[in-house]
Structure 1
C-alpha cells in the first residue's frame, strides 16, 4: 500500500519537466515586455527659413469713401414735397434731386415785383419834377434850394428803385432755392429727409459722393501715429477682391485722436481702376513694416514662453526641436518681424508648434510634404 504514492510521484515528474521550458519562455517574454518601451515616432513638422521682414506689413481695416463728400442742404426752409433720388442713385451736375413747396417763396417774389413797380413809378415822378424844376430855376422862378431839394428827392427815388430791384433778385433766388440741385456728378451716399417733412435752411438732406478718386478711411492706433506720415506708400486690398492689391499713399492723418477709441482718423488715396472700388465697401490698408535688416517668420510659428515669444528651431544633430526665445516687432497680417534671436539659416517650425515639446524628435517637411534635409551647418546659428 505504501508504494502507490511513490509511483504517482514518479509519473508526475516527467510532466513537470515538459512544462518547465514553456513556463520559462513565458516568463522571459513578460520580463522583456516590461523592460523595452516602444520607440517614439518622429513627428512631421513644416519648416521654413526666416525671410527679410520687408515682406511684412501691418494691416488696417478700412472703408471706401470718395475724395469729395458734400453734405447737401436747402438754402431756405420749407416743406419737402418731392424727392427724386435715393441712396445709390447716380446724379449729374445741375440735376434736381428734391423740391420744397414754393408757394410762400413765389408770393414773396410777387410782392417784391410790386414793390419794384411802385419804386420805379416814384422814380419816374421824381425825375419829371426834377426836370420841371430845373427849367423853372433857369428862368429864376424857383430858388436854388428848391431845385436842390428836388434833386435829392430824385436820388432818393433812384435808391428806392435800386433796393426794390435787389429785393426782387433775392426773392427770385429764394424761389429757385426751393429746388435742390446736384453741385457735381456723383452718387447719393446718404439720405436723411423724406417727402412731407419740414426742413430747415442748412439741414443736411443728402450726402453726395463726387465721381473721381476713391480713398480708404481707416484708423491708426496711438502707438503708430508718430511713425506714419502723409505721402507714405501703402497697398490696398478690397474684401471682395481678395489677393488683388493696388498701390496708394497716405493722404492725411487727423491731428487729434478720437475721444472714444483713442485712434487717429487717416485716409489713403488708391491708384485703382474706376470700377474696382465701390463706395462703402470694406478694404484693408497694408502699411509696410520697416524691417531695418531684421527677419520675419510666419505668425503661426510664434509661441508664448516665459512671458515672451519664442519659436521652435530644428537641431540637425539630434533631429529634435528646441524652443528659441526671440524678440519680435509689431505683428503683421500673417508674418511677424523678428528683431533678434534668429539667423537666416535657421530652420523654424512654421506651424503646429503648440503640439510640440522641447527635445521632441521630428521629421522636417516642406509645404508639399517632402522631406527636408536639415544640415548641422544650417542650424549652428540657432544655438547663438
Structure 2
C-alpha cells in the first residue's frame, strides 16, 4: 500500500506537467503580430501642380486698314480653316480709291504712248535734218517722265487693290476662335485686335512653379491628367520655362507640351501636372521597429503563406527618424512584421492581429 503511493504521486506530477506544457506551446505557436504590406515607391516623392490647358500658338488678328465693321462671320468656338473669311469692313471708300488708282494708271498709260509716239516722230525728223538735238532731248525727257508716272500709277493701283482686299479679315491658320472683340457697326483702327484664333494641333499645360521646385521641373519627367478624366494619363515635355518670376505671385510660368493630345483635351480645361525625378530608386518605407540584426546585417521577418515568419536580409538605402528605406530583400505585397521582432523564432506560427496598408 505504501509502495504504490510514490508511483501514484509521480504519475500525477507527470500529468500536471503535461497539462502545463500544452498551453505554453499554444501560446508560442499563435504569437500575435502586427504587420505592414510592402509597397515600393520612388525615393523622391512626386510633385503635382494645377495646370490649365492652353494652345501653343494663339494669334491676335486685326484689320490692316481702318474702317467700319460691316459683318462678323464667326463666333467664339467656331472652327476655321486657313484663308476663311472672319469679318469684313465697309469697303465703299476703299473701292473708290481703287477706281481712282485705275483711272490714274489709264491716264499715265495714254500719256506715255503719246510721249513715245512724239519721240519717234522727232527722231525721224532729226534724221531728215528737220529737227534739232535740243528738241529731241526735251522730248526724251518728257517720255522718261511719262514712264515714271506710269510706274507710280501701277504701284498706287497695287496698293489700292491690297487695301481693298484687307477689308476682309481672313484666318492665317487652321484653328478655333477663342475671342471676338468687334461687332458690326464698330469703327476700328489698324491696332485693334479683332479676333483671336488658337491652333488646334498643339496643346500645352501652363503651370506656376515655386522657386524651390525649378530644378526638379527641369530634370524630372512629366505627365498630365485632366480633372474631367483622371484615369487617362498623357506624357508631356517641358517646352518653356520663364526666366523671371511673376512680380505678384513670385512663381515661374512653365509650359508643357502634351504628347498625343486627343480632341477631348480642350482649351481652358483644368489638369494636374505630375513631376517625378528621372531615374529615382524605388524604395519600400518600413518602420525602424521592423529591423532585426543578429550580427549579420539588417533583416526583416516576412510572414509566409503558411503563417510562419522567415527572416530575410535586406538592403537599406537610408535611415530616417522613424522609418527605414529598403531597396532589396522584399517584394511588393510581402507582409513584414513591424513589432516584437526580437521575440520571434524561425518556423514559429504567428497570428496577424492587424494589417496596415502603406
TM-score, normalising length: structure 2: 0.69
Cα 1:103–1:162 change in 2 (3 A) is same
Structure 2: 5+ residue stretches without partners: 1-33, 292-317, 327-332, 344-358
Secondary structure of the corresponding residue to residue 262 of structure 1 = coil
User: Which residue of 332, 335, 338 corresponds with 1:374?
Assistant: 338
Cα 1:264–1:378 change in 2 (3 A) is farther
8 Å Cα contact 1:81/1:101 also seen in 2: yes
Residue 191 (structure 1) shift: 1.5
Residue 293 (structure 1) shift: 4.5
Question: C-alpha distance in 1, partners of 2:342/2:63?
Answer: 73
Cα 1:280–1:378 change in 2 (3 A) is farther
Calculate the aligned-residue CA RMSD, in Å. Answer: 3.1
| Match of residue 349 from structure 1 | none
Question: C-alpha distance in 1, partners of 2:319/2:229?
Answer: 33
8 Å Cα contact 1:235/1:246 also seen in 2: yes
| 1:186-229 Cα distance to aligned partner (Å, 9 max, x none) | 10011112121111113111111113121111122222224433
Q: Does 1:221 align with 2:173?
A: no
8 Å Cα contact 2:207/2:254 also seen in 1: yes
8 Å Cα contact 2:35/2:337 also seen in 1: no
Secondary structure of the corresponding residue to residue 79 of structure 1 = strand
Secondary structure of the corresponding residue to residue 243 of structure 1 = strand
Question: C-alpha distance in 1, partners of 2:51/2:187?
Answer: 35
| Match of residue 254 from structure 2 | 266
8 Å Cα contact 1:52/1:296 also seen in 2: yes
| Match of residue 58 from structure 1 | 47
Q: Does 1:237 align with 2:218?
A: no
Cα 1:70–1:59 change in 2 (3 A) is same
Question: C-alpha distance in 1, partners of 2:259/2:43?
Answer: 22
- 1:84-95 correspondence to structure 2 within 5 Å: 84-95=73-84
User: Which residue of 259, 265, 278 corresponds with 1:277?
Assistant: 265
Residue 131 (structure 1) shift: 0.9
TM-score, normalising length: structure 1: 0.65
Residue 313 (structure 1) shift: 5.0
Q: Which structure's relative contact order is higher, taking Cα pairs within 8 Å and 6+ residues apart?
A: 2
Question: C-alpha distance in 2, partners of 1:339/1:158?
Answer: 92
Q: Does 1:110 align with 2:96?
A: no
Residue 243 (structure 1) shift: 2.5
Residue 296 (structure 1) shift: 8.0
Question: C-alpha distance in 1, partners of 2:133/2:320?
Answer: 103
Question: C-alpha distance in 1, partners of 2:64/2:159?
Answer: 12
8 Å Cα contact 1:97/1:182 also seen in 2: yes
| 1:219-244 Cα distance to aligned partner (Å, 9 max, x none) | 22222224433x85310111111122
Question: C-alpha distance in 2, partners of 1:154/1:174?
Answer: 30
8 Å Cα contact 1:77/1:199 also seen in 2: yes
Residue 84 (structure 1) shift: 1.1
Residue 373 (structure 1) shift: 4.6
Aligned length: 277
Question: C-alpha distance in 1, partners of 2:149/2:59?
Answer: 39
| Match of residue 176 from structure 1 | 165
8 Å Cα contact 1:294/1:339 also seen in 2: no
8 Å Cα contact 2:284/2:325 also seen in 1: no
Question: C-alpha distance in 1, partners of 2:342/2:237?
Answer: 40
